[in-house]
Structure 1
Amino acid sequence: MSDSLSVSLAATLQAARVDRNLSINALAERSGVSRAMISKIERGEAQPTAVLLGRLSGALGLTLSELVARAEQADGTVELLRRAEDQPLWTDPATGYRRRAVSPAAGGPLELVEVELPPGASVSYPADAYIFKYQQLWILAGQLRFHEGDQVHELATGDCLQLGPPSPTTFHNPSGTPCRYLVALVKEPFEMRRHGGFSRD
């Protein structure tokens, strides 16, 4: 992640927290991330990992790619994002996991995200990091071992998986080559999530 994006991401997190009238203590309680770590991230003294960003963005009612897009100052009125110039790309400093926001911000509730997981890498998220009503994984290349709660899915190129209700997950690449996959999701309204609602309708 570039230094400029690190600074912008820190400011974006702080602005989203303030917009929701959340103290650092309140965000720490919601996200499970320590107050000290949130303070360091907001001051630009620590680069958050994918796991930390997933927890923080979920607690703020945002997806991870929305958070990165805001940090990149993506225009919410744009309907076309060119891959080379416009699609925000974020790299996890801990694992090398790369997440590209494919969908324009004006695309409505549907969001498409392209992910590249390096050989042997794993990324885990708690259930409360998810703010999605529906989510599918489509493997574009390679192999993915996906832990969804107690279930383990062995996925290969071309496989597509419909996820169930939010549960702890782990994305693991068991192979010696990168795994690329597309995440398609329909976002759940933040207010519904705050009141514990989850619909499969």
Structure 2
Amino acid sequence: MYTIIDDIDQRVGARIRAERESRGWSLTGLAEKSGVSRAMVHKVERGESSPTASLLAKLAGAFGMTMSALLALAELEDGRLLRVTDQPVWVDPESGYLRRHVSPKSASPLNLVEIDLPASAEIPMPASAYLQTRQLIWVLDGELVFIEGGERHELGAGDCLELGPPSDCVFKNESSRTCKYAVIVDRKA
């Protein structure tokens, strides 16, 4: 298994800086668009801070992309095959949320990500992280509570949910064991 731990902060920071600069935005501009402080954006870009899933989702949303797309740009090389041993793994330093990027970086509009959500973990995602995409959540093992705006969805193994219109969301594991689920993202929706 390829685990991105040693240089993930630097790679993600460089990708965020490249995205910001390609748009001609200042640090302050990105901070305003994302709701993340300028100081934190600066630390993340320099690889001095391990960003949480929530923070990455806010930054990705400001760029009009999903967290998965942002991380894929930082993690992957082009190709049609991504072997399990080369699939990048990222761990949220705050919650222990583990994310494995399964799909290759190719021309395909689909991204497939596998998530391990620890017991009692809660990951908020802003609506901006879901703009211009269609997403499905497929629970592989365990139980997942997905709160979409004001609607609560309780999902068990085998259940699949298509996300509705973009709204602030929360992924919650209210159980005492890890929940494993897949997120399928259609970037061309």
Please confirm whether the aligned pair reaches a TM-score higher than 0.5, indicating the same fold. Answer: yes
**TM-score, length-normalised on structure 2?**
0.92
Deviation per residue, 1:143-188 (Å, 9 max, x gap) = 0011010000111001111110001100000111110001112115
In structure 2, what is the Cα distance between the partners aligned to 1:180 and 1:174? 13
2:84 aligned partner, one-letter code: R
**TM-score, length-normalised on structure 1?**
0.87
Equivalent position of 1:58 in the other structure: 61
Deviation per residue, 1:7-50 (Å, 9 max, x gap) = 22111211111112111111111111111110111122211100
Q: Which runs of 5+ in 1 are unaligned?
A: 189-198
Q: Which runs of 5+ in 2 are unaligned?
A: none
Equivalent position of 2:83 in the other structure: 82
1:71 aligned partner, one-letter code: A
- Using the aligned pairs only, state the percent identity: 48
Equivalent position of 2:12 in the other structure: 9
In structure 1, what is the Cα distance between the partners aligned to 2:27 and 2:96? 28
Equivalent position of 2:102 in the other structure: 102
2:160 aligned partner, one-letter code: C
Q: Secondary structure at the match of 2:116?
A: strand
Equivalent position of 1:194 in the other structure: none
> Conserved in 1, the CA contact under 8 Å of 2:96 and 2:117?
yes
Q: Secondary structure at the match of 1:84?
A: helix
Q: Secondary structure at the match of 2:133?
A: strand
In structure 1, what is the Cα distance between the partners aligned to 2:43 and 2:62? 17
1:10 aligned partner, one-letter code: G
Deviation per residue, 1:112-136 (Å, 9 max, x gap) = 1111100110000111122343111
2:49 aligned partner, one-letter code: A
User: What are the within-5 Å matches in structure 2 for residues 136-151 of structure 1?
Assistant: 136-151=136-151
In structure 2, what is the Cα distance between the partners aligned to 1:153 and 1:133? 20
Q: Secondary structure at the match of 1:164?
A: coil
Matching of residue 171 in structure 1 with residue 171 in structure 2: yes
User: What are the within-5 Å matches in structure 2 for residues 89-128 of structure 1?
Assistant: 89-128=89-128
**Aligned Cα root-mean-square deviation (Å):** 1.5
Q: Which moved more, 1:174-183 or 1:40-49?
A: 40-49
Counterpart among 41, 44, 48 of residue 44 in structure 2: 41
